[in-house]
Amino acid sequence: MSRKRKSQAKHFTEEQIKKFRNDPNVRHVDDHTIRFIYEFRLRLYEAWETDKRQGVKRMLTENGYDLKELGRSLISGLCDTFKRKGCPQNAKYDLPVGSVQSFRINPEDNEYLLSTGKFVKARNGITFNEDFVNELFHKYPEQSIEEGLKAAGVDPHKVGYHRIYVLQRRFENDTPTDEGRSTYTDEVIKKYKDHPYVKKITAKQFILKEAFYDDAYCLCNMHINDILELFEFDCKGLPLSLKVRIRYHLIHHEKRGAGLCMDSEQALRILRNVMASLEKEAEKSLQELHDIIPSLKPADRKKVCLWIDAMTPDPGKKFTKKYILKTIGISRSSFYSCLKDPDYGLFREMKDEQDDKDIELIRQVINCNEYPKGTRMIYMMMKKITGKQFSIKKIRRLKRKYGITCPVRKANNNRQAARELLERNVCPNRLKREFRLHKPLEVFLTDVTYIPYDDNKMAYGSAVIDSVTGRLMSFRISDTNDLKLAECSFVDLSESEHCPNALFHSDQGSLYLTDTFRKLVKDHGFIESMSKRGNCWDNAPQESFFGHFKDEVDYRNCRNIVELEDRIWKYAEYYNFDRPQWTRNRMAPIYYQLWLQSLSEEEFSEYLENEKMKYEKMKEKAAVKAIERAKTLGV
């Protein structure tokens, strides 16, 4: 008599119940039952899918639960519920963890499944239509059962995890199934009675000859349905249990006899089908080998050549060495040179061995005295110390390969990145110091300056001015000199009045060279211009503004950034509206702008002519100063 082991329910104490009721993951708890909230059960299910029972234990432990306190029956109940019901559905059919109630069926889901035509009524409810089962089996495992259901227009969630799991077990059964339930009709018996590979067929039995497994053994990689079709069996008329049993015997077949010894027309036709299928599979394998040959290492390439050389000649004289080599993309000269050269594929190993010897000579030079040596120093001292000489390129390669660096004057990654950024994003100087030869709001200048305050504190200010009128368009400050500071001052400009396609001029600071800032300028319709590197005169009006600001504003006694910002905005208002400028008709920038905008075309042209004359005189003076400065070089 078999004895069934009954799981003992865990008894929770009053103290444990009180603790669980304060747990946010617990929805209900009593003396023998604990129920978790939906979200936590989803996490437990994901852990179960990953590592089954151990995954559930690990998830409970990570969330602070004592497994002994919860009890073995609770964990077993969780795993059993996940196995039967799949992913938890929010509360509607949830049972307490550890409950032994049966799995509930939704009648509406059954009606839906029957309406699809893929299910039929059975003794205990509904089950898969056998034709649909064969259809799913024929595409399995390349297509999962869930994918097959979706392709057939059936919702897998309404089918349920348990039904899918049972069908998957049928497909993957690793033991011969009992076919006592299968019944073969007189029509099937008559059809296969004289089949050359059928040993016995009755209403309850269908047994194949050993010769079938001998001849089909080389086709194990094919789907069992395709194998049976080759041997002229109608897969649709055979039960799934028989196909699973044949597949099992075929996979575990060890005896390799001579196959079928018959000369009937059907037997010869079947063998021709098998040979044609084998040729097709061979062609497919050779094509796959052709695709991976270029990526093979020399040693693996030699293994392929040795394998081809050791092949038994093809009786049909189709798969000759010449044909195989041509198909997989290896020339005959490469094939035979590979076979004759004993060191083929060993070049890398030989080179590594030589590099190990050569690096010791380099280390000998490095360790010659206590002073550090770079690549060029090693090159110059090597002959004297070791008696051998390497090229400077080889020394660099070996140092890079073995991770040897000089501790002084090492490459600066930040400097290299800044250099690459400069080369990629630098803009030409489109302004060319023509600060006044434009209309108001057509050209804007920007820069960032240091603003020390409160003894040892430092702030950074980013300002934008109109090149023609000197009007201050924006003045932002920050504790850090970062991209956000420059972006904020530019956004202030873009939101104020300006002409279409206005020129935005800056120096070659790292903030203005970034891809982010350049994209921001371009997206707002501005044209970018940059000063020559290290030339402050190309942005002179902006530099002049910072000079006046630092001379006229007492900001050093500010105690915090808020005070400093307040003082700056007061100065900005004074600068734009009240502070006259000598070179701008003794007007404040706002009023100078209004005056220029009030000029007629003729009057503005006359104004530009005067400014151009001043500009030409400035260029002449600058040229003379440059020549005089060049004469003093080297003195």
**Is 331 contained in some domain?**
no
What is the pLDDT, as a whole number, of residue 91?
A: 46
For residue range 496-509, what is the model confidence (pLDDT) as tens digits? Answer: 999 999 999 999 88
DSSP assignment of 294-348: GGS-HHHHHHHHHHHHTPPPPTTS-S-HHHHHHHHT--HHHHHHHHH-TTTT-HH
CA distances from 389 to 383, 386, 530, 619 (A): 5, 8, 48, 56
Q: What are residue 120's DSSP bridge partners?
A: 127
**Average confidence (pLDDT) over 408-431:** 77
Q: Determine contact, residues 446/552, Cβ cutoff 8 Å.
A: no
Q: Determine contact, residues 489/495, Cβ cutoff 8 Å.
A: no
Average confidence score pLDDT of the chain:
83
Band (pLDDT 50/70/90 cuts) for residue 259 is low
CA separation for the pair 516, 514 (Å, rounded)? 5
3-state secondary structure of 250: helix
Please indicate, yes or no, whether residues 184 and 241 belong to a single structural domain of this protein.
yes
Band (pLDDT 50/70/90 cuts) for residue 604 is very high
**Average confidence (pLDDT) over 78-88:** 79
Please indicate, yes or no, whether residues 471 and 574 belong to a single structural domain of this protein.
yes
**Is 466 contained in some domain?**
yes
**Is 297 contained in some domain?**
no
Band (pLDDT 50/70/90 cuts) for residue 446 is very high
Please indicate, yes or no, whether residues 375 and 440 belong to a single structural domain of this protein.
no
Q: What is the pTM of this model?
A: 0.43
| Parallel/antiparallel/unpaired status of strands 472-478 and 457-466 | antiparallel
What is the pLDDT, as a whole number, of residue 6?
A: 36
Residue linked to tokens 């007061």: 570
Quick count: other Cβ atoms within 10 Å of Cβ 489? 22
Task: Point out the least confidently predicted range of 133-147, 321-335, 382-396.
Answer: 133-147
Higher pLDDT, 388 or 238: 388
Q: Determine contact, residues 167/159, Cβ cutoff 8 Å.
A: no
User: What CATH number does the domain containing 526 carry?
Assistant: 3.30.420.10
**Is 334 contained in some domain?**
no
**Is 136 contained in some domain?**
yes
Which two tokens mark 600? 């007629």
CA separation for the pair 348, 413 (Å, rounded)? 31
80, 104, 128 — which closes off a domain?
A: 104
CA separation for the pair 569, 580 (Å, rounded)? 18
Band (pLDDT 50/70/90 cuts) for residue 262 is low
Q: Residue 89 pLDDT more than 70?
A: no
For residue range 515-557, what is the model confidence (pLDDT) as tens digits? Answer: 899 999 999 999 999 998 888 888 999 999 999 999 999 999 8
Count of domains observed in the chain: 6
The amino acid sitting at 518 is: R
CA separation for the pair 29, 21 (Å, rounded)? 7
**Is 289 contained in some domain?**
no
Q: Residue 261 pLDDT more than 70?
A: no
For residue range 613-624, what is the model confidence (pLDDT) as tens digits? Answer: 988 988 888 888
What is the pLDDT, as a whole number, of residue 101?
A: 37
Please indicate, yes or no, whether residues 465 and 568 belong to a single structural domain of this protein.
yes
**Is 285 contained in some domain?**
no
| Region of residue 331 (phi > 0: left; psi between -120 and 50: alpha; otherwise: beta) | beta
CA distances from 633 to 28, 42, 86, 626, 629 (A): 90, 79, 85, 11, 7
Please indicate, yes or no, whether residues 531 and 467 belong to a single structural domain of this protein.
yes
Please indicate, yes or no, whether residues 255 and 122 belong to a single structural domain of this protein.
no
**Is 64 contained in some domain?**
yes
Please indicate, yes or no, whether residues 613 and 524 belong to a single structural domain of this protein.
no
Please indicate, yes or no, whether residues 577 and 473 belong to a single structural domain of this protein.
yes
CA separation for the pair 294, 309 (Å, rounded)? 19
Please indicate, yes or no, whether residues 449 and 592 belong to a single structural domain of this protein.
yes
Q: Determine contact, residues 308/324, Cβ cutoff 8 Å.
A: yes
CA separation for the pair 395, 389 (Å, rounded)? 10
CA separation for the pair 567, 78 (Å, rounded)? 68
Show the domain range for 139: 107-171
Provide the 8-state DSSP code for 587. B
CA separation for the pair 109, 157 (Å, rounded)? 9
Task: Point out the least confidently predicted range of 1-5, 512-516, 546-550.
Answer: 1-5
What is the pLDDT, as a whole number, of residue 394?
A: 95
Task: Point out the least confidently predicted range of 150-164, 413-427, 482-496, 501-515.
Answer: 413-427
Please indicate, yes or no, whether residues 137 and 94 belong to a single structural domain of this protein.
no
Of the candidates 292, 282, 141, 270, the one whose C-alpha atom is nearest the C-alpha of residue 216 is 270
Q: Residue 341 pLDDT more than 90?
A: no
- Calculate what percentage of the chain has a pLDDT beyond 70: 90
Q: At what angle do helices 72-85 and 38-62 cross, to 10 degrees?
A: 130
Task: Point out the least confidently predicted range of 291-295, 362-366, 412-416, 425-429.
Answer: 412-416
Within 8 A by CB and 6+ apart from 73, the residues are 7, 8, 9, 10, 98
CA separation for the pair 98, 81 (Å, rounded)? 9
401, 416, 440 — which closes off a domain?
A: 401
Please indicate, yes or no, whether residues 207 and 81 belong to a single structural domain of this protein.
no
For residue range 148-200, what is the model confidence (pLDDT) as tens digits? Answer: 888 888 888 778 767 777 787 777 765 555 544 567 888 888 888 888 888 88
Please indicate, yes or no, whether residues 22 and 119 belong to a single structural domain of this protein.
no
